[in-house]
Amino acid sequence: MISGNDAIKLPSTLWTYFIRSLDYLIAYTYNISLINNDQVWINIPNNERVWMHIDELKDSIFSKQKDIIGLDFNLQNPIISNGKYWSAKIEDAIDLFNDINTSVEGRNIYVFDKKLSLLICYLYESNGILIWGKNKNLILKK
């Protein structure tokens, strides 16, 4: 279970700032126009997307990372915590969404490092974890 003591809540006004920053970064990287919605990952070309299973994420060095910013679409505030915290949050979201005994609506979770060099998206629509950014190969290492 995830402890609330492991995370720092940021002001909710930063939510839009983080989403727009990701929008601008992806648009700049691929020289495309902005989409201006919360589905920032849609503009990442298919050949640049890497999909990962939750066990691979938990076993990677991501779990040892610090200062990871996360946007859990069930919450109103961005949260700064470590990779272990966010791996557990993503796993909880996957388990809850896959549990046939609940009628919980799925949610997306975006996490990224403070330099925006890594973006990890849990996308409930595809029940997958998308990894993108110049540091994605570091996360794939154990």
In a domain, 64, yes or no: yes
State which residues form the domain around 71. 48-140
Q: Tell me whether residue 113 is in a domain.
A: yes
What value does the mean pLDDT take over residues 117-130?
89
Closest CA to 132 of 114, 122, 117: 117
Residue 28, domain member (yes or no): no
Does 6 fall in a domain? no
Question: Is residue 128 assigned to a domain?
Answer: yes
Residue 100 lies in a domain: yes
Look at residue 117 and tell me if it is in a domain.
yes
Q: Is residue 42 part of a domain?
A: no
> Which 8-state DSSP code applies to residue 77?
S
Sorting pLDDT into bands at 50, 70 and 90, what band is 110?
A: very high
Q: How many structural domains compose the chain?
A: 1
Write out pLDDT tens, residues 29-88.
999 887 666 678 888 888 888 999 999 998 888 888 899 999 998 888 999 999 999 999
